[in-house]
A = this chain, B = another copy of it.
Amino acid sequence: MKLLEERIKKDGRVLSEDVLKVDSFLNHMLDVSLLNECAKEWKRIFENEHITKIVTIESSGIGIACITAQYFNVPVVYAKKLRTKNLDNDFYSTSVISYTHGQAYEVIISKDYISSDDSILLIDDFIANGSALNALITICEQAGANVVGAGIAVEKEYQNGANRLRERGYRIESLAKIKSMNKNGEIEFC
């Protein structure tokens, strides 16, 4: 999506060949108008699919997932990082290795909120090595739900997480695909 690529070029900050900071519009500060444009594009792409829920992962996926859910008239379920004493034990879970923070953590979704009746669209802001998206797929499949596909705002294509999932048959629709970044701050799109 041209609008998103242009915004990344304008406001994204390349901190290294691997780290792109989009804190000023896609996480930390959220440009809700831009999120709406992403949502409309996913609505166009997945228009003919039967979707009952949107599933994402805290925290940075929640905003873009909620905006997108308005176009599909479905609820959002977000996977939580395990840390609360306020949850029942009755949940699906798996582990994620965070690319940004370099550590593993457990994510969960209550068994009350996804089931084999669901056809799920996954939404997230970023995909790099694919660990978070893979965890969401694992959890949905534990529930017996159908994974229709995934809408991702920014794919770092060279880190191959999305491509590995595509090879396994999943439909991953990224709106901006980065082919490479360099130390001079240059970003090349696919």
Contacts and interface: CB of A to CB of B under 8 A. Distances in A.
A76 to B, nearest CB: 4
Interface in A37-78: 58-59, 62-63, 65-67, 69-70, 73-78
Contacts of A58: 58-59
A168 interface: no
Interface in A68-94: 69-70, 73-78, 80, 83-87
Interface residues of A, number: 42
A66 B29 contact: no
Interface string A19-41: 10101110011111101100000
**Complex A-B, nearest 3 residue pairs according to Cβ-Cβ distance, in ascending order:** A58-B59, A63-B66, A62-B62
Given A19-B86, A29-B75, 12 more contacts: A15-B86, A29-B112, A30-B78, A32-B76, A35-B66, A36-B70, A58-B58, A58-B59, A59-B78, A66-B66, A85-B101, A85-B102
Interface of A: 15, 19, 21, 23-25, 28-33, 35-36, 58-59, 62-63, 65-67, 69-70, 73-78, 80, 83-87, 100-102, 109-110, 112-113
14 contacts: A21-B86, A29-B110, A29-B112, A30-B62, A32-B75, A58-B58, A58-B59, A59-B78, A62-B63, A63-B63, A63-B78, A84-B100, A85-B100, A85-B101
